[in-house]
Structure 1
């Protein structure tokens, strides 16, 4: 990192919240995450309102306070003030045993309360005040109050000590921001010029940030989307008054690409601090150990060693996972929690979707708490729909309940037994194998709540037992209970009856994540959702809950029709009932194509069953052609080996499942891949839950859009993604065969890329790519 200006420079100090000031200066001792079933954010808010509602009419809630000390402005909201008793209250919610609240946590709470105490005394010229910590047990609604009478002078001394402890760091950070602003204000584009389409995307991102709007952008592979989205936000950093940029990805591989692209965009902004967040289980140095000082050496004394680790980490411009681990271990602190600390002191954070969009998202909560102005980039945003549905769904498995009961203590078993009885009662008279309910039956809900409460109390009293199937079931049940409270038209209760082969299940199944995600979009100054396949825009805007004024950019492809020979095979049906008759035609065409132009090809099928049938027949008919196949549950090394078979100058056919690991995210330029066969429209399975979704979406969005939103759009997106493996650069050329006459229908062709020129052909005349065919008469139906 380049040398910073003298700390006495006049760069303004950034305001600091009371919470952040105290966390910086008053935390000491161990990390301690011994199992405590902590309240949710919603429960915490409700707890605060409960306590405040119990007070007299003169009681002041959420008292806004601000105070400056030597150029540092400290701000925050005190939970409550009783002017009659001159008592300032700091409210904390917990669940379980009050004695389980650790001493270092309580010390932090006192620091916060006393900081507010001095700020209040200063604002209202009070000579003294009673400072009270009010602990509310969410389960029992009982309050435990700790009080201390404090003079204003004593409170002032403590406040000034905290500020002085923080001041040197604050001045360093002010200098960092001043230097960074100068570098970003003159940041140049990292290439000699923009690629085709890249300028359109970059300008769209800049306009969206400047006007505080969200943006949906569809841009083809190969134009440099990472640079085109990060560069305008970095270049406009000062003008847009940005505090943080969050770059969110769906997959681990996406983070590596993001880090590389951000480094390229900001290559002359050497002060830019970039941080990578990685899941705890992937960076834990002592897996299987609890996060507290008695079990983990990296948790013992964590806050005592954090200042030196933080000082070294902040000097690293690129805090990727490897660098973070090196710094953390050098100071004997936990890499995962060091990374969380460094979010405060980084400019760009690269992380998974869940850090912003999940119900308990860390980055979202911190940004709201610190009132940061954040820009959010959502890479490969077509993945966000299914990921968000998963975040706001909660499955419960009957077998898991039985495993939990088997190890449950005697005092907990009756509540688990009652839950099982009510569960069984719900499914006893269920007419179909799978049905959807609009709400959780009252008796089942009551039994679930009782079981969650009993387990929470058990773990609070015996945290050492928080492991194994009992803990796993508790977390699943708690998640289910919380989502059941929010159950509305966006979700359903899915009930699957037990069978001889499989146990039954219940699930809160989210269909439309929009109601949950709207607050996330509102919390950013701009969110840019970009992907190579993000059409139709209205579909993603409706399903994700993007604001109505969201801007749209559809970047024209740099590729040309002459690069990709697209053929719809109209005499092959890939419907389940027609596959026995179609399979010989399909495999014969793949074989003839390979014989005519040997090279590497990918063939996609709708299921592993269909894939296995096609592969077996192809191998019998064409034994001399090398083949390799995707299998269910492939490990990372096996996936890498599959991709590695596509060697430059090689030949053969890879068989894969549409929508799987090889349908997107793999790059096979040049002659590593010269053709793709797609034997499916990709339509989701026609089952009870998808039909429920179709009906719900018809009601929610009208105009018969339920079918398109449930089946057609998700299916065609997978097709376009898979087809996109062929043409990766402006120099590539290849062939694409789409098997099924339904691809020729106008409503389907309208969803295919505009730069494709689609020809119709038959398997008995495959050489005639432009042979005309009759318009298919059959309706689109899910497979």
Structure 2
């Protein structure tokens, strides 16, 4: 409400539109409920939530074809009356409202949400509906306006999301499969064969994974020729079924070409020959310039999160300038309500973590058995989590422990949240940066503690090392930008699950001796400065609230 209310006040007389942009479904609901509270006090602003097409689609397969989907068939013929009546008689359009309206009038719920968004004063949606060119460019009339007010929630997520949005890749084997499929179409198959040849040229001239010294212009030109032939084929066969594989690589090609036309020194091309595939990726290393260009078209952009540490780093990465206003607000909660413990004797460096598994189990058990209640235990990866659990169950009682599965479904996530709300001896093993790291509220005794294992740094990989080298050259801060800052913000997010209200009290146990280093202690927020260093399970038991 502290961001929405002043933004709503500023709309008066300016014909503005608010886009409340989020990374998680749960934060969309929180934003919508905040508007609903103001609605109950007399606010009358049309507010729409956009839900991802795959999640809101009524059909078994998400195929937007009139022949397959009755909700797509004659959509615009059926739309006008229900849309007009809705705009006239209702203001709040959440997922349930949109689904009910769509079922009543046999309309596509996703397209209906977009049309309601067009008519709304506040649009609550994922980042990609404003920042991703594959989505935003399709409806410029909706998502490109100089009166837009952008409210970017959980803004620490936008950096990597923007990288993904603007980093297309193409895979040789996909094109070759379509070449075999379309061999009878001489003009089309010729261009697909030519693309395969350009891939082979790159494959011969590169090692397993490496940055290309120059843009692959021959490959890009081959893609251009292919898209021209593909468009002619689509036109000539518009009344016939076109292979999905052809459509898929056509869109991948056009997107790759589109991004190649705006690529500058903040991008690089690299070839990857791992996993029996040859791929070429156009990788956005520094998203700040792209974000700046989008944001400057809006009336204003407000980024907020409890974990923008350090602030100047995020101001730069999210497209800000040095004179853009930044504000850091102290935690509203009493410092002593958070019992922050740091283990000084266990290293979670990758090379050492396996040798410390038993000690990790001992520390986890000291906390969750020392005071019965609900806990989240965050691990650096699913692989390491499963290793620890295997050892834990051989040493301690696991009757209260649930191990979160990779790729957990929304309904299973809701079931676990429900257990936290209704039970008082629930311990969930999960991963840092996952679905339980942010966007969930478990106040009071619904969650009384969290264990965070490791510093949260992303897994060392080729792309992270590209970022590291780039910012070493640019700012002499490569490791911080690529690994330390993104990792520490995940730690802050996970720890933030514990204290949610002024009455909350709880314990956060950080297991990694690196947290005791000055470079990490210097990142600690003010309400963490009272931390206690522990070196045994007995000390954990003696320091419980």
Where does structure 1 lack aligned partners over 5 or more consecutive residues? Answer: 1-226, 771-783
Are 1:688 and 2:436 counterparts?
Answer: no
Q: How does 1:83-482 map to 2 (within 5 A)?
A: 227-238=1-12, 241-285=14-58, 298=71, 302-315=75-88, 316-328=90-102, 330-360=104-134, 361=136, 365-366=140-141, 373-410=147-184, 411=186, 412-431=188-207, 433-437=208-212, 439-463=214-238, 464-482=240-258
Q: 1:650 aligns to what SS in structure 2? A: coil
Q: 2:3 aligns to what SS in structure 1? A: helix
**735, 738, 742: which one pairs with 2:510?**
738
Q: 1:228 aligns to what SS in structure 2? A: coil
1:647 shift after superposition: 5.2
For 1:488 and 1:751, locate their aligned partners in 2 and report how far apart those are by CA, in whole Å. Answer: 32
Q: 2:270 aligns to what SS in structure 1? A: strand
For 1:609 and 1:327, locate their aligned partners in 2 and report how far apart those are by CA, in whole Å. Answer: 44
Q: Look up the match of 1:196.
A: none
For 2:510 and 2:63, locate their aligned partners in 1 and report how far apart those are by CA, in whole Å. Answer: 52
After superposition, give the CA deviation of every residue in 1:733-765 in whole Å (9 maximum; x if it has no partner): 121211122101122112222112112121265
Q: How does 1:426-575 map to 2 (within 5 A)?
A: 426-431=202-207, 433-437=208-212, 439-463=214-238, 464-499=240-275, 502-575=276-349
With over 3 angstroms needed to count, the CA separation of the structure-2 counterparts of 1:327 and 1:684, relative to structure 1, is closer
1:686 shift after superposition: 2.3
Are 1:724 and 2:490 counterparts?
Answer: no
1:284 shift after superposition: 4.0
For 1:372 and 1:313, locate their aligned partners in 2 and report how far apart those are by CA, in whole Å. Answer: 27
**520, 539, 543: which one pairs with 1:748?**
520
For 1:610 and 1:349, locate their aligned partners in 2 and report how far apart those are by CA, in whole Å. Answer: 40
After superposition, give the CA deviation of every residue in 1:15-74 in whole Å (9 maximum; x if it has no partner): xxxxxxxxxxxxxxxxxxxxxxxxxxxxxxxxxxxxxxxxxxxxxxxxxxxxxxxxxxxx
Contact 1:242 1:375 in 2 (8 A): no
With over 3 angstroms needed to count, the CA separation of the structure-2 counterparts of 1:325 and 1:572, relative to structure 1, is closer
Aligned length, in residue pairs: 537
Q: Look up the match of 1:90.
A: none
With over 3 angstroms needed to count, the CA separation of the structure-2 counterparts of 1:671 and 1:399, relative to structure 1, is farther
- Greater percentage in strand: 1
Contact 1:646 1:672 in 2 (8 A): yes
State which structure, 1 or 2, has the greater radius of gyration over its C-alpha atoms. Answer: 1
With over 3 angstroms needed to count, the CA separation of the structure-2 counterparts of 1:710 and 1:454, relative to structure 1, is same
Contact 1:313 1:319 in 2 (8 A): no
Q: Look up the match of 1:147.
A: none
For 2:70 and 2:265, locate their aligned partners in 1 and report how far apart those are by CA, in whole Å. Answer: 48
Q: 2:283 aligns to what SS in structure 1? A: strand
Contact 1:355 1:362 in 2 (8 A): no
1:567 shift after superposition: 1.5
For 2:63 and 2:165, locate their aligned partners in 1 and report how far apart those are by CA, in whole Å. Answer: 25
For 1:263 and 1:647, locate their aligned partners in 2 and report how far apart those are by CA, in whole Å. Answer: 23
Contact 2:366 2:540 in 1 (8 A): no
The two structures have a TM-score, normalised by structure 2, of 0.91
1:618 shift after superposition: 0.9
With over 3 angstroms needed to count, the CA separation of the structure-2 counterparts of 1:611 and 1:375, relative to structure 1, is same
Contact 1:271 1:317 in 2 (8 A): yes
For 1:745 and 1:588, locate their aligned partners in 2 and report how far apart those are by CA, in whole Å. Answer: 23
Contact 2:117 2:123 in 1 (8 A): yes
For 1:354 and 1:586, locate their aligned partners in 2 and report how far apart those are by CA, in whole Å. Answer: 39
Q: Look up the match of 1:92.
A: none
Where does structure 2 lack aligned partners over 5 or more consecutive residues? Answer: none
Q: How does 1:617-636 map to 2 (within 5 A)?
A: 617-623=391-397, 625-636=399-410
Structure with higher RCO (Cα < 8 A, 6+ apart): 2
For 1:475 and 1:730, locate their aligned partners in 2 and report how far apart those are by CA, in whole Å. Answer: 50
After superposition, give the CA deviation of every residue in 1:463-487 in whole Å (9 maximum; x if it has no partner): 3343422211221122112212222
For 1:643 and 1:549, locate their aligned partners in 2 and report how far apart those are by CA, in whole Å. Answer: 42
Contact 1:378 1:528 in 2 (8 A): yes
Deviates more, 1:537-546 or 1:563-572: 537-546
1:314 shift after superposition: 1.0
For 1:393 and 1:287, locate their aligned partners in 2 and report how far apart those are by CA, in whole Å. Answer: 30
With over 3 angstroms needed to count, the CA separation of the structure-2 counterparts of 1:731 and 1:648, relative to structure 1, is farther
The two structures have a TM-score, normalised by structure 1, of 0.64
For 1:305 and 1:577, locate their aligned partners in 2 and report how far apart those are by CA, in whole Å. Answer: 62
With over 3 angstroms needed to count, the CA separation of the structure-2 counterparts of 1:615 and 1:524, relative to structure 1, is same
After superposition, give the CA deviation of every residue in 1:436-471 in whole Å (9 maximum; x if it has no partner): 225432322222222232222222222334342221
For 2:248 and 2:508, locate their aligned partners in 1 and report how far apart those are by CA, in whole Å. Answer: 46
For 2:59 and 2:367, locate their aligned partners in 1 and report how far apart those are by CA, in whole Å. Answer: 53
For 2:266 and 2:289, locate their aligned partners in 1 and report how far apart those are by CA, in whole Å. Answer: 7
1:710 shift after superposition: 0.8
With over 3 angstroms needed to count, the CA separation of the structure-2 counterparts of 1:461 and 1:736, relative to structure 1, is same
For 1:663 and 1:494, locate their aligned partners in 2 and report how far apart those are by CA, in whole Å. Answer: 32
Contact 2:199 2:278 in 1 (8 A): no
1:649 shift after superposition: 5.5
With over 3 angstroms needed to count, the CA separation of the structure-2 counterparts of 1:289 and 1:355, relative to structure 1, is closer
For 1:571 and 1:614, locate their aligned partners in 2 and report how far apart those are by CA, in whole Å. Answer: 18
1:495 shift after superposition: 1.4
For 1:298 and 1:693, locate their aligned partners in 2 and report how far apart those are by CA, in whole Å. Answer: 44
1:276 shift after superposition: 2.2
For 2:331 and 2:347, locate their aligned partners in 1 and report how far apart those are by CA, in whole Å. Answer: 30
Q: 2:281 aligns to what SS in structure 1? A: strand
Contact 1:589 1:766 in 2 (8 A): no
Q: Look up the match of 1:715.
A: 487
For 1:434 and 1:747, locate their aligned partners in 2 and report how far apart those are by CA, in whole Å. Answer: 32
1:368 shift after superposition: 7.5
For 1:601 and 1:279, locate their aligned partners in 2 and report how far apart those are by CA, in whole Å. Answer: 31
